[in-house]
Every structure is written in structure tokens, then in C-alpha cells.
Structure 1
Amino acid sequence: MAMRLRARLLEALAGDPEGSPAWIRELAEGDDAGHFAEDGAAWTVHGSMATLVAGIRALLLQALHPGAMAGVHDHSTYRQDPLGRLSGTVRWVVCLTYGSTAQAERETARVGRFHSRVQGAYVDGRGDERSYSAADPVLADWVHLAFADAFLTCQETWGERMPDGGRIPGGPDAYVAEWATAGRLMSVDDPPSTAAELRRRIDGYLERGELRSDERVREVVSFLRRPPVGGIAGLGYRLLFAGAVATLPRRYRQLLGVRRSPLPVVSLTRVVLAIAGRALASGEGQRAQDWARLRLRRLERERAA
């Protein structure tokens, strides 16, 4: 069972049941250390099992911006190919976090080519019609904020504790400051550099009336609540969804039309993440960090020669 679960997780996250597609193996290549320090904040947060919940939470929050929601509704294949859509996003995050700067630039360009086709019109939170483009810095800002907040919050909730008692090297501000690099690469103007600023910026969208709920949002929430995943994996996913909802502030839950479960979902989510972590560790394949370390150790040997 562990091996079957491992294969399903790797298929969802990497697009490969063995977990080592070409773009993962490419993390061992390149001529520099990349954008982020080994075992630093970004490495730790994005290597955590808490990312399984963070991905759900980020999608829920992103859906509340009608411009971002219009792009998903009009152009995304999440209904027909949810795993393909997920693994494409994971690929960009992993390559940017653990890859060389050259690999990160190629992946950012790949995402940019897709985004160049994502455009249309939407009705904003005030009822006015606006045009949108995935390359619009305002939409890029919202997506970056929602992503960073989700991954930070879930790591603070479920990430493994370090010897000093914290869950992130350097603390929450270190992660937000590091991941601001991703925002700049995706054309975000002045991404936040502290956790407090990150959350102020998110709340600003709500307070300015730029977020809204409509039929499209309800459709996405319904899909995220019960995607086409059955059996034990489906039960585990539903607990992860409930965990993601539990970490959202009440006013965002109300806007999404979701309620916090009366069950102890934070603790139950921790159990699910532990099971998933053991399943992933049951195979012999290398993790993204391991491929990246091969590059770093090679570069060290080359410098010492």
C-alpha cells in the first residue's frame, strides 16, 4: 500500500510515479548555487510535507480575486487534468527553489509563455468590467501573496520543529524575504519582505473590496473539496482540505462559503501528512533537495580543484 500511495503522490507532484522526471534530474546540473541558500528558509518550507495543505489553501485564497478566478475559469485545465495542472505548478516552485539560476529562468520563461495566452475580461469586486492578463502585475501580486501566505501559514502550523523550537530557519520573515525573489521574477512590483507586511497586503485587497465570491468561486471550492480522488487517498485529501480551511481567517472562510470542521482537523491533518511522508520515504528515489545537493557538492569540488 505504501508503494502505491507513494506512486500516486509522486504522479500528482512530479508528473512521474517514480518522482524523477527530466526536470527533477536537471537540478543536479548548472553552474551556480541558485537563488536560495541550501537548507535556508525557502528550501525548508518548500521541502516540507505541509506543502500538501498549502497548495490547497493557496488555490482557495487565489480564487477570491475575480481577475485571477477569470483566468482559471477561462484558461485552466484543472477540471480535465487536475494532476497535470498541479504538477506544472509544482515544477516551477521546485525548479526555482532548488535549481540553478539558469534552470529557474527557463522555468519562469515557460510559465511566462503560458501566461501570455491568458487574457480576457472580468467583473471586479465593485461591479465594473475590467480586462485581465496573467502578466498583469496586479494579478501577479495577488497570486504571489496568496501563495506565500499559504506556504508560510501551513509551515507554521505543521512544519517540523528545529532544535531552536522554530519551524523556519531565520523565522517567518526570512521566508517572506527569500520568496520575494519569486515575486520579482514574476513581475510583482515591490513584493513584501516581512510576514506582517505580507498579511497587511492581503487584507488590503479585502478591505478595498477587490475580492468577491460568485458562482465561479463556488465551482472551484466544490472541485477542491472533492476532486476525482477515491479510496483512502480521497479520505486523506478531504482531511487536508479541512486542514487548509481551518487555517483561513474567518472572514475569508465566509467569503468562500466554507466552514471550519468541528473535528480536530489540525491534529488529523498532522497524521495524514506523517503517513504521506512515510510513503514518500519508502522508495529509493531521490528528493529534489538531493539532486540539488549533487550540484552544490560538485561546484564545491570544482572550486577546490
Structure 2
Amino acid sequence: MVKPVLRPHDDALYAESSASWQVNRHWFPLIGGARAAILQVCDPRVAAGVASYSTYKTDPFGRLDRTLDAMLTISFAAPERREEMLEHLRRGHARVAGTTADGQAYDANDPELQYWVLATLVDTTFEVERRYVGVMRRADRERFFQESKLLATAFGIPDELVPADLDAFRAYVARQFETLEPSDDTREITRSLMRPGLRWLPDQSLVPLNWITTELLPGRLRRLLGLADLNTAELGAVRGARLMARSTLPRLHQALSVNPWNNRVLRPAA
């Protein structure tokens, strides 16, 4: 009997041979989930939308869960499910509009904001892979980035907002890191992600993951968010985890490396 395996639908946005699938079929990108979510709300307009229209205080991980589900469905599920998800997101985003505390207008269907959200996912994947796996070469990263343009197109993001290549993408991300000004909403959402205060999940249990998240964030934004730099012992623990991960994750058996979110969006194929 052939054991069922997960793979993209035959007509998915990304094929089984794509760089996107080769990365996202593994669970290691999930290590950076909180980092991506925090970077997204470092744009005060995104933060205002999340603060006003989401349940982040009572369900701090809900938005992250829904983002992963949506991105995997759009990327790897059948075309009809991809279009259903895109339409669902468009309808949901249509009601998310308003003004930030300092008067900036925001709209969740704004392609500039949508691209920033997508960019945080791509950049976080690169950063986690570089630190904790370390097998992607520059050509692999370029290929992964170029493939991400398919997602931008699916969301209707104009080509002129999308960097042309990996170097241009890195320059875009660096500019964002140097110019974004986190708001009070940003800091409150960050606190909720790192210390959610859930009855079933003691905050203390998240401390090691918070160290990893803190170390993954760019220094300037980390300081503006009010996150203390890791002390020597904490930094040593994170570096030890990185060394152990780089020696084991590339060799991990496929059954132990599967991204569990894929089970929710893909049907097993014989």
C-alpha cells in the first residue's frame, strides 16, 4: 500500500517542483510566524486595521492562523478553491477601512499594504531559512522571490509595486525597516502576540519562542517596539538552537518535516 502524501493540486498556482512548495511543504517557516505578523503591523495603517477589526485581544493567534490558511490555499489548492479564498479575502477586506490615530487613511484592499504583508512572509521565510536551515543558495532565493510574484498577481497588486528581482526586493525591505514608525496599536498587538495571557497557554511557555522572535526582528524596529535586546544567556540559547537546527532540519525525515497547515488545505494523493 502506498502511503498517502500531500502535494499541490495539479492545477495549483505552484507545482510540486516549485521552490515555493519545496520550502512551504516543511514546517520550519512557521518559526517566523510571529515575526511576520509583527512586521506587518509595524505599518501603522495595518496595525489600525487589525486593532479596529480583528479579535486579536481574545484570539491573538487567529489572524496568523487565517493568514497561513489563506496563503497555502491560494498557493497550492485547486483553482476553484483559490478563487473562493481570494473572493473571501476581498469581501472581508472591503469593510476594513478607516483612519489611524494620526490621520492616515487605510484600506485593507490597498495594494501597497497588501504587498507589504506579502513581503513580510517572503522576507521572514528567507531569514528563518538562513538562520535555522541554511541550504538555500542565492539562485534558490531568486527563484523563490520570482515565484512570489504569482501571489502578488493573484491579489491584484500592480506590477509597478513589486520589486523586479531579489536585490530590488531586499532594498525595498531595508527601506521599510528604516522608515516604518510603529504605533501604539503596533506595540499593543506585539504584546498580545508575545504575552497573550491565555488560560490554556501560560505566557511563560512562550518565552523561548519570544527569544527567537526578538532575535529575528531588525534592531531598529525591535527598539521602537520596546523589546529589550536578549541578554548573553538568552542569545546563547537562541544561537544554540540555530546550530542544532542547521545540523538536523536539512536531514529530517520527510514525515517529520511536514507543515501541519498543509493537512488543512490539501487532500492526500496516492
Shorter-normalised TM range:
0.7 to 0.9
1:183 aligns with 2:152: yes
- Judged with a 3 Å threshold, the aligned counterparts in structure 2 of structure 1 residues 29 and 38 are, in CA distance, closer, same or farther, namely closer
Cα distance in 1 between the residues matched to 2:208 and 2:245: 8
1:149 aligns with 2:120: no
- Judged with a 3 Å threshold, the aligned counterparts in structure 2 of structure 1 residues 292 and 153 are, in CA distance, closer, same or farther, namely farther
Note the C-alpha offset of 1:282: 11
Q: Which runs of 5+ in 1 are unaligned?
A: 1-26, 298-305
Structure 1 residue aligned with 2:109:
135
| Equivalences, count | 255
Residue among 14, 20, 25 paired with 1:42 = 20
Cα distance in 1 between the residues matched to 2:56 and 2:80: 29
TM-score (norm 1): 0.70
Structure 2 residue aligned with 1:173:
142
Tell me the alpha carbon deviations over residues 23-76 of structure 1, each in whole angstroms, 9 at most, x when there is no partner.
xxxx8896x431112142211322232222221111111111111111111111
Residue among 191, 194, 213 paired with 1:244 = 213
* Structure 1 runs of 4+ with >6 Å offset: 27-30, 230-233, 269-275
Aligned residue for 2:104, secondary structure, equals strand
Residue among 58, 61, 72 paired with 1:94 = 72
Cα distance in 2 between the residues matched to 1:266 and 1:49: 20
Cα distance in 1 between the residues matched to 2:164 and 2:267: 25
* CA RMSD in angstroms, aligned pairs only: 3.6
Which letter maps to 1:203?
A
Aligned residue for 1:171, secondary structure, equals helix
Structure 1 residue aligned with 2:3:
none
Aligned residue for 1:120, secondary structure, equals strand
Residue among 77, 88, 94 paired with 2:55 = 77
1:121 aligns with 2:99: yes
Q: Which has the higher contact order (CA 8 A, sep 6+)?
A: 2
Does structure 1 conserve the Cα–Cα contact (< 8 Å) formed by 2:26 and 2:257? Answer: no
Note the C-alpha offset of 1:105: 1.6
Identical counterparts, % of pairs: 24
